[in-house]
């Protein structure tokens, strides 16, 4: 059994990844700084599901602080570092770009440096489908992604390049995972799915940017976590899409399906399309199947039902969470 450092362990994807690693009998050292980008009650909710489990230890620290990370690398012999700590969100990165580079670039550099010093040879990095803006669909990993439309996307591209440098210079094996529109229970409150669900349930207007015809390649969080773990195998340096592999799932369709699950009709507050948003996403996932033996298992309808069921079970405290 391995020992893995999972950064951002109280985050949406990382908490589920850590849980599946523990299910398989591995040891997980979870790391999170509990910043206030969104309501920390959601982070605590996810962390509570991990706390007390055999093989799990938690450290409250920031990947931007190399001195705080160093004792963890001295204390443990990590088989791999899974870097899921990140500043996420396209629109917020336009308003405050500096924290995105501090976490996504400087934080990644700190981890890679400590890996180099301590002989940790496997690195998994969460990247983003936002890099594909303006490219032909379906998005494949060999497309040039040199025109990021937001500081968030630019920071993820920079992190990918850092990882390549450390692979080339120091032999660190790197899996770069470009995630596509991850959804599921306990998602971030700035993401569309939880916002839409909450607004429909409360009878509040949904802030809809554009006309709802824009499409996303929705991927359930458990499928993302499975793919992340599968990418721990030796690969050299590979960029791999993890997406639903579905085309033309419109935002309007998601809103309609959520309304049916909740038994309520959505009220729309239409706003202009945001220039930093992608109008369409669609992942070519052939490489993930070839290299990782991975395909998504959870259907959109099943995933949406699981998400709404979780929302209903936690609606009492979620009412106070800022969206």
> pLDDT tens, 7-28?
999 999 999 999 999 999 999 9
Residue 198 has pLDDT above 90, yes or no: yes
- At which residue do the structure tokens 């660190």 appear? 172
Q: Mind listing the pLDDT tens digit for each residue in 51-105?
A: 999 999 999 999 999 999 999 999 999 999 999 999 988 888 999 999 999 999 9
ω before 138 within 30° of 0 (cis)? yes
CATH level 3 topology of 3-318: Rossmann fold (3.40.50)
Q: State the pLDDT at residue 63.
A: 98
- Catalytically active residues, by annotation: 152
Q: State the pLDDT at residue 2.
A: 97
Task: For residue 5, give the 3-state DSSP assignment.
Answer: strand
Asked if 116 contacts 166 with a C-beta cutoff of 8 angstroms, the reply is yes
Residue 315 has pLDDT above 80, yes or no: yes
- At which residue do the structure tokens 């033996």 appear? 293
Q: State the pLDDT at residue 245.
A: 85
The Cα–Cα gap between 116 and 120 comes to 6
Length of the chain: 323
The Cα–Cα gap between 83 and 127 comes to 10
CA nearest to 16, candidates 309, 224, 305: 224
Q: State the pLDDT at residue 286.
A: 97
The beta strands (E) that lie in the chain are given as 3-7, 27-32, 56-60, 80-83, 122-128, 173-179, 182-183, 206-209, 219-220, 237-242, 268-271
Q: State the pLDDT at residue 247.
A: 65
Asked if 224 contacts 243 with a C-beta cutoff of 8 angstroms, the reply is no
The Cα–Cα gap between 64 and 144 comes to 29
Exposure letters 166-198 (e unless 16+ CB within 10 A, then b): bbeeeebbbbbbbbbbbbbbbbbbebbbbbbbb
Asked if 318 contacts 198 with a C-beta cutoff of 8 angstroms, the reply is yes
Asked if 50 contacts 19 with a C-beta cutoff of 8 angstroms, the reply is yes
Q: State the pLDDT at residue 280.
A: 85
When mean pLDDT is compared across 69-83, 106-120, 233-247, the lowest value belongs to 233-247
Residue ranges per structural domain of the chain: 3-318
């Amino acid at each position: 059994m391995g020992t893995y450092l999972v950064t951002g362990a109280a985050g949406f994807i990382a908490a589920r990844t850590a849980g599946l690693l523990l299910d398989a009998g591995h040891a997980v050292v979870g790391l999170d700084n509990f910043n206030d980008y969104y309501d920390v009650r959601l982070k605590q909710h996810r962390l509570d599901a991990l706390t007390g489990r055999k093989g799990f230890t938690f450290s409250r620290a920031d990947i931007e602080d190399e001195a705080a990370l160093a004792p963890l690398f001295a204390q443990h012999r990590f088989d791999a570092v899974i870097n899921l700590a990140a500043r996420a969100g396209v629109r917020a990165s336009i308003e405050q770009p500096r924290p995105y580079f501090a976490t996504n670039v400087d934080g990644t550099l700190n981890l890679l440096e400590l890996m180099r010093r301590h002989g940790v040879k496997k690195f998994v990095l969460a990247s983003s489908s936002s890099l594909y803006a303006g490219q032909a669909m379906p998005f494949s990993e060999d497309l040039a992604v040199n025109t990021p439309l937001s500081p968030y996307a630019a920071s993820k591209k920079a992190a990918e390049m850092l990882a390549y440098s450390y692979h080339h210079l120091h032999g660190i094996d790197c899996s770069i995972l470009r995630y596509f529109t991850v959804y599921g229970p306990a998602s971030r409150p700035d993401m569309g799915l939880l916002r839409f669900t909450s607004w429909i349930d409360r009878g509040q207007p949904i802030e809809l940017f554009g006309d709802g015809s824009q499409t996303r390649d929705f991927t359930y969080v458990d499928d993302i976590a499975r793919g992340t773990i599968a990418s721990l195998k030796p690969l050299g340096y590979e960029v791999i899409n993890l997406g639903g592999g579905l085309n033309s799932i419109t935002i309007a369709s998601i809103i309609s399906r959520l309304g049916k699950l909740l038994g309520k009709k959505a009220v729309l507050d239409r706003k202009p399309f945001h220039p930093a948003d992608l109008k369409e996403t669609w992942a070519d996932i052939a490489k993930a199947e070839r290299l990782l033996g991975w395909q998504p298992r959870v259907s959109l309808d099943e995933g949406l039902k699981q998400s709404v069921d979780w929302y209903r079970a936690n609606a009492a405290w979620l009412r106070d969470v800022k969206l």
